[in-house]
Structure 1
C-alpha cells in the first residue's frame, strides 16, 4: 500500500515507494553533534548488511539553511543562507536525486519558511510526492536561539499544512500550541490544535516531555507517542541516566526518515528510530566541556535497545502470565481449513499443524475442535486451534493461534493459566514488540511474500525484514519460538530456513498441491518435523 497525498496516514503503511533518498533540510552544527551533521550520520548510518547478503541503506542529501558557530556549550553566531542558494540546492537535487522523504529541521527566518512551503505546494507533477517530516528546531540544547528571526507564525500559517509527520518535543509543543504536556489528555488537545494547521500526524518526542501526571510509568521511562487522530502508537523505554544527548531530536527524526525511505511501515520505522537513539545514548560520550552527542552505531540489533510498544497507554500497566513454551523449532507447520486435511497431513508425518476453520459459531466449531484435539493425541502431534480459544481450553488442545485482530477480544491471561500454548500473528517490528509483552509461546512473523489466502492491510515484509526480526527475537532471553508465514513456496523456503527463524507455516503449499503426499515429504525433508519434545 503506497501513500497518496491528502489521505489519512495509517500506522501500518509503507509510505515511500520510490528510491531511498532522504533530503535533510537544516542548519550546520560546527560541533558536529546535531543539525545536518547528525542527520547525515543517522540517515546513512541506519543500514544493515545481513547474513543473506541483503543490504538496506538510504542516501542522505542536504540543503543547508544556516551555518552556525557553536560548540558543546553554546552558539555564538549564525548565518542564514540566501534564498537563491537554497533554490540552487533544491533544483540540483530535484533534477538528479528526487527524495522519498524530506526531513526538515532548522529554518532561519520567515522567508526561508515561505520559500520552502511554496516548493512543497508546487511539487512537480511528474515526480512521486515525498513524505515530509518536520522536526521544529528553533532552540539549541544549550538554550541558545538558532533562528535569525522569529518564524513561528510563518511555520503555522504556511508550512504545517504540507507536513506529514511533525516531531516536536514538549517545549516545541508548548511554543506551537500554548499547551503544556502535563497529562495524556494534553497530547490529544495538542494534536487537535496542530491538526487545525494542516498537520497530518504528530509524533510527540518524550525526551523533554517529563512526567505525565496520569501515567505513572513516565516517572522513570521515556514515552514517545504518535497519532493520526484515530490511532495511537506508543514506544516506551527506561530513562537513561546520562549527561550526554546532544542531537537526540535530530538523530531521532533523521533515523525515522531513513527507515521510512527504506520501505519500513510507519509504526516499524518509529520503533527502529526509538531503538537507534536508545543505543546511541547508552554509548554517548563527551569530547568537549558540554554534553556529548548521540553515537551513531548502525542498525539496532540488541533486544535491550528496543522499546515496549503499545496502541494504548493502559497496556503498559498490565502484567501477563507467561504461556507454556513451545519447542524452539516447530518444524513444518501447515495451516488447514478442515478436519479431513488435518488428518491427512498428520498421517503423512506432519507433527505441527493448525486448524483454521473461519466464520463458524461455537456450536459448529466445537465438534471440529474435539476431533482435532483427539487426532493430535492419536498422532502425538502439536495441533493448534485458530480463534476458538475457549473451545481449545475446554477440550485440552495443545495450543491456540490468534491474529492481531482477535487478540484484543481474547482473555490472554485465561489462556496462559490454562496451560495451553499461544501463538500470535505479527506483521513487523512494532507488532512483534507489542505481542512479546503478552508472553506467548510463539510468534508468527509475516506475511513474508505476497499471499492470496487472506486480505492484508500491510505489505509483504520480504526475507531481509524476516531475518532482522527473527535475529532480534533470538537475541532476547525470552522463551518464544518464531514461525515464518505468508506466500512461502518450496523454492523460497530454503532461503527462509537460512534466517534465525524456527519454523515455516504454509497454507496453499499443501492444500493446493497436485500431490499433497509428495509435497509433504518434500517440505518435511527441508524443514523437518521440529524438536522431539511434544509436551
Structure 2
C-alpha cells in the first residue's frame, strides 16, 4: 500500500522547516508527501524577515487538485497564517471527516514561534485554532511555548504538563504530544509527553547540545504523520519521531550564520538515538515524582539465557504436549495454561520443570511466576501488563530467566528498561490464539526490531507456520515461536523437523 500524506504548511525559504522539512522527514519513512502551501516566508538561519500569506482561493485550488487524484491517509498541518486560513482548513477537515470512506487522521503542529523566537502567526489566530480547528484534530503537537500560548498553563512541572494536555483535549483534540525541547526539567534532560485518551506516555533523554535545531518541531510532527499513515500506533509514532529527531540533531551541520537545520537522515537504527521510556521506578520517573503502584517492584538485569539463538520455540498448553516437543529435540518450550484450577496448575508446573531437567531443555512458565519460583523453573514469560503486577525482584533473586512480550517500538523500549533475558516480538502475522487487532507487526517491523535489540536473544511469535518460518528466520531473529504449527499438525514430529530445519538449519530434518 502506497501511503499519501498531505502537508498543509508554510514554505521556508531557508530550507530548514515548514514544507521543506515535512517532505524530507516523510521521505525518510518511505511516505509520499503532497503539499498545500499556506504562506511564503522570507527567512534564513538568522530569522524570519517576512511572512506572505497565500490567498484562500489559491489554498482552495491546491486542496481541490489533491482531492480528485491523491486523497490523504493522514493530513499534517503546520503554519496557518491567519483566521481566514484556519476557518477554510477547518471546513475542509470537517467535510473530509464526514464524507470520505476512510476519514483521514489529522496531525496539527501549531507553528506559532520559530526557533529564532519570531512570532509566525497573527495574534487573533489563537481563539480560532481552539474553536474551529482543534475539534477536527487527532494529534496536536505543540512545543512548550505553543502549549502555554494555547492553554494559558505555564509548564513548571509534570502536573502542569498533564493539565495543559487535558485542556487541549477539552478543546477537541483527541491526543496531545507536548514537545519538551524548551522544557529543562530535570536539568540537562529533554522530556516529551503524550496523552492519548487517558493513556500517558513519557519519553526522556539527555539534551543533545547543538545550536542547529531549526525545523525540529515540523520534522517531528511529520514523522508522526508518516508513521500513522503506515498504521503504526501513536505510541510507536511518538517514540520513532523522537529517535529521528535525536539522530538528526547529532548529525546537524551549520548552513548560514545562525541556527542551522536538523539533519534528515533515515529510519532510526541506532539504539543510542532512542529515548528512554519513563515509568515509575526509573531514575527519571523519580525525578518527575511518578507515583509507584502499591504492588509494583522494579528490577532490571535478569539471568542470561544459555545462547542468543533460542532456535525453535514451542508454546504449548499442556504437559503432554510439552513432553512430546522435548522428546522430538525442541530445546526451548513454554507452558502456557489458561483457565486452570490452582491444584492442576501446581502439579503441571512441577512436572514441566522436571521434564525440562530430564531433557536438558529451557522450559519457561507463562504468567505464573510464583509457581515458577516455587518449583525452580528455568524461566518465566510475562506480558507487558504483568510487569507492573509481578514481583520482579523475587523473580530476579530466584535466578529465573525473564522473557517479555512486546508489540511495537514503544513496548520494546519499555521492556529494555528491565534488561530481560530475552525479548519476544509479535504478532508477526494474524493469529487465532489471541485477538491481536492493531498489533500485527509484519516482517518489515521485525527486520527493524532485531538489530535494535541485538544485545538480547530475540523471538518472533504470532501466526508463524512451516510455510512462513524460513522467511521469519531470515530477518536475523534468533528464535521462532510457534503454537498451532505443532499442536494442530497432522504429523507433529514431521512438522517439528521441518520447523527446526527452517529455524535452526537442522541437517537431520
Which band: TM-score by shorter chain? over 0.9
Distance 1:515 1:148 in 2: 72
- Of 487, 500, 504, 1:524 maps to 500
**1:156 maps to which residue?**
130
**1:128 maps to which residue?**
102
CA drift at 1:193 = 1.8
Deviations 1:453-484 (A, max 9, x none): 1122433111111111112112xxx3x21000
Please give the residue correspondences for 1:330-341 in structure 2 after superposition, counting only pairs within 5 Å: 330-341=310-321
Confirm whether residue 396 of structure 1 aligns to residue 376 of structure 2: yes
Distance 1:366 1:313 in 2: 31
**1:324 maps to which residue?**
303
CA drift at 1:229 = 4.0
Confirm whether residue 300 of structure 1 aligns to residue 268 of structure 2: yes
**1:486 maps to which residue?**
462
- Of 90, 98, 103, 2:76 maps to 103
Secondary structure in 2 matching 1:103: strand
Distance 1:96 1:73 in 2: 39
**1:207 maps to which residue?**
181
Distance 1:429 1:163 in 2: 24
Change (3 A) 1:43 1:337: same
Deviations 1:247-298 (A, max 9, x none): 1111100111111112222111111111000000011111211111100011
Deviations 1:26-52 (A, max 9, x none): 111111111111111101122xxxxxx
For structure 1, which runs of at least 5 residues remain unmatched after alignment? 1-17, 47-56, 212-217, 531-535
Contact 2:279 2:285 in 1 (8 A): no
CA drift at 1:149 = 5.4
Secondary structure in 2 matching 1:335: strand
Confirm whether residue 452 of structure 1 aligns to residue 425 of structure 2: no
Distance 2:146 2:404 in 1: 39
Change (3 A) 1:315 1:97: farther
Contact 1:232 1:312 in 2 (8 A): no
Report the more deviating stretch, 96-105 or 123-132. 123-132
- Of 23, 33, 53, 1:60 maps to 33
Deviations 1:170-195 (A, max 9, x none): 11111111101111111221122222
Distance 2:104 2:445 in 1: 23
- Of 347, 351, 357, 1:371 maps to 351
CA drift at 1:343 = 0.8
Distance 1:516 1:274 in 2: 46
**1:438 maps to which residue?**
418
Distance 1:226 1:188 in 2: 9
CA drift at 1:407 = 2.2
Confirm whether residue 168 of structure 1 aligns to residue 138 of structure 2: no
Contact 1:19 1:100 in 2 (8 A): no
Deviations 1:300-333 (A, max 9, x none): 1011011112466868447633111111001110
Confirm whether residue 500 of structure 1 aligns to residue 471 of structure 2: no
Secondary structure in 2 matching 1:122: helix
CA drift at 1:412 = 1.4
**2:289 maps to which residue?**
none
**2:393 maps to which residue?**
413
Contact 1:39 1:254 in 2 (8 A): yes
**TM-score, length-scaled by structure 1:** 0.89
Change (3 A) 1:321 1:79: closer
Change (3 A) 1:350 1:281: same
> Higher relative CO (CA 8 A, sep ≥ 6), structure 1 or 2?
1
Please give the residue correspondences for 1:164-313 in structure 2 after superposition, counting only pairs within 5 Å: 164-211=138-185, 218-310=186-278
Confirm whether residue 353 of structure 1 aligns to residue 327 of structure 2: no
- Of 41, 59, 67, 1:86 maps to 59
Confirm whether residue 461 of structure 1 aligns to residue 438 of structure 2: no
Distance 2:283 2:374 in 1: 27
Contact 1:234 1:313 in 2 (8 A): no
Distance 1:385 1:516 in 2: 22
CA drift at 1:210 = 2.2
- Of 32, 41, 60, 2:24 maps to 41
Distance 1:187 1:457 in 2: 31
Confirm whether residue 113 of structure 1 aligns to residue 96 of structure 2: no
Secondary structure in 1 matching 2:99: coil
Secondary structure in 1 matching 2:334: strand
Secondary structure in 1 matching 2:420: coil
Q: Tell me the C-alpha RMSD between the 2 structures.
A: 1.7
Contact 1:234 1:312 in 2 (8 A): no
Please give the residue correspondences for 1:505-516 in structure 2 after superposition, counting only pairs within 5 Å: 505-516=481-492
Contact 2:4 2:32 in 1 (8 A): yes
Distance 1:149 1:184 in 2: 28
CA drift at 1:361 = 4.3
Contact 1:335 1:356 in 2 (8 A): yes
